[in-house]
Homo-oligomer: A and B are copies of this chain.
């Protein structure tokens, strides 16, 4: 491992902004530190217990002993969930210097090591006695996908705890991939992108550009129909159109987002502006036309894919948690590459309304899909069983396809690295949370900042300089696109407006200097582009970065959330709770009964009875925390229609 490294999952060699490591940004309290703590103290154990119980660690033993054809359990990609869990544990071990976690990682790693063959191949589902041959099913086999997560786990260990056995296994696997898929080898790609971004990061870790070359090969080869046509079409795994030529993300959402993340990584390392521009173009079209209000991506249940433009029915929103994680990965990469705050805006939206919406308060159950309209009260899932269904109305402890819990775990463990970056001129704050920052600026030396806030519930953010060098530098603060009327107060008390985008404070800071950012947190009505037909005549409420929702548990008389309407002419108001809840002027709709046929002449349509009522809306991320409930984000609106 020739290069010095920092504890962060993403360390580009180039780009407009440079990331900070987990040693440079520490979450100290509030919304995210709480979740990081629950993740560390509950979710990791929970996931470990489940991967053990499901036999996904024993699979490596079975492979080592040549009996996987008989004894292997779980989906073909079960190895990857073990790797993602190890990745999360390695980051978490580093963040808290937790040697007990190291021991768990080492113990599981020893089991994995036994299954790696002499040439570096490692997969419990293929290649053993009685199993399908290696790389005989690139469409669905997930072998390279699993390597990708293995490599990311190995990198986590190297960067968080120092090179160890897991790192060495990962490097051997990566070398094997180069041997087999390198020049003159198999000129095909994996049905599930993921190895691309991992290989680039390994090249960053090791300084060995051959991993980058291999990643670039996979990026360039994709879209050239090296995979078979499948019932979902080649767009499902983005093998329909080369990355450089595509106009929008399409197909399986997680696949599309991981691929785009890998393409950004390759583009950044190679200075390939054409490739970067292609991904930016796809991201812009996807965000403008194929993304739910929550930031959730993927509107089809069938193939977990993006829908056509503006096909975003809230009651069929899939918005897989893993797609949220992947969207954060992609947007964070684009932020580092370009410095544009719009990417951090989407990171924020997606973290609060997709990633944070998945785990329960106790960190032991999860949403896999994140619908925007729950029409039927869900049943309590069996706590002892793998939940077969992604679309349940309540969080489940584990899934037959259980990619999401471990993906959330590794994201929460590394969340600090999304908070801030540096550039030659100073420090940029992208996400607001209680955090202590301490880093070396290239021109101004070592600086420290203590950030304190009640965000996302309160819009006041105080940044106190804790270390300074007597040289000037710039503190750049993101002003979210929704924050009209923000203002910043400089250490000298001067207050000035801060338009959406970024606001900069440049001075020779002294320890104790305080910069205060005020983001207006008045709840606000939101409407959708007219082309999203499924949202016509409906309004949502947002407050700061939070999307709100109405749940039936907050309605009188066991009323369903469909039996309401809201009055968009009256501004929503903060509820007394101070927890981000909002009260809106609404109507309870009565007298809606079934007609024998639900389609009528407009003049014959029944006139429902409306009763004025205040409706309590609560943050979407906390939905379904109070038992079975129906829920909607988008609320039918009275008032004039829009065309």
Contact = CB atoms under 8 A, between A and B. Distances in A.
Interface in A215-230: 229-230
B308 A598 contact: no
A284 B481 CA distance: 48
Interface in A113-136: none
A640 B642 CA distance: 9
B538 A600 contact: no
A230 to B, nearest CB: 7
Interface stretch (A171-179, A309-317, A508-516): A309-317
A638 B641 contact: yes
A291 B599 CA distance: 10
A332 to B, nearest CB: 18
B533 A599 contact: no
A532 B598 contact: yes
A285 B594 CA distance: 8
Given A300-B301, A534-B534, A643-B589, A528 B313 contact: no
Interface string A583-606: 000010100101111111110010
A375 interface: yes
A592 B314 contact: no
A187 to B, nearest CB: 24
B284 A596 contact: yes
A293 interface: yes
Given A388-B233, A530-B608, A636-B643, A597 B481 contact: yes
A231 interface: yes
Contacts of A186: none
B376 A595 contact: no
Contact of A636 (B315, B530, B599): B530
A181 interface: no
A307 to B, nearest CB: 8
Interface in A134-174: none
A642 B636 CA distance: 9
A287 B605 contact: no
A400 interface: yes
A496 interface: no
Given A481-B597, A596-B284, A641-B639, A534 B531 contact: no
B531 A289 contact: no
Given A315-B308, A643-B565, A527 B602 contact: yes
Nearest to A318: B302
Interface string A478-493: 0001000000000000
A629 B530 CA distance: 21
A598 B637 CA distance: 18
A634 interface: yes
A315 to B, nearest CB: 5
B539 A536 contact: no
A517 to B, nearest CB: 21
A562 interface: yes
A636 B638 CA distance: 17
A225 to B, nearest CB: 14
Nearest to A308: B375
A443 interface: no
A55 interface: no
A190 to B, nearest CB: 21
A526 interface: yes
Interface string A276-317: 000000001101110101000000111000011111011110
Contacts of A107: none
Contacts of A70: none
A540 interface: yes
B310 A316 contact: no
A69 B284 CA distance: 50
B601 A289 contact: no
Contacts of A587: 643
B540 A314 contact: no
Given A301-B301, A315-B308, A634-B533, A231 B388 contact: yes
Contacts of A375: 308-311
A568 B603 CA distance: 11
Contacts of A229: 388
Contacts of A84: none
A529 interface: yes
A601 B300 CA distance: 27
A589 to B, nearest CB: 7
Contacts of A310: 375, 562, 598
A595 B536 contact: no
Contact of A536 (B289, B530, B596, B636): B636
A538 to B, nearest CB: 7
Contact of A288 (B527, B598, B601): B598
17 contacts: A229-B388, A231-B389, A231-B400, A232-B389, A288-B595, A288-B596, A302-B302, A311-B315, A313-B316, A315-B533, A373-B533, A481-B597, A527-B600, A530-B605, A587-B643, A608-B643, A638-B641
The 5 nearest A-B residue pairs measured at CB = A641-B641, A529-B598, A313-B313, A302-B302, A536-B537
Given A232-B389, A307-B315, A526-B601, 8 more contacts: A229-B388, A284-B596, A301-B302, A311-B316, A311-B375, A481-B596, A537-B641, A640-B640
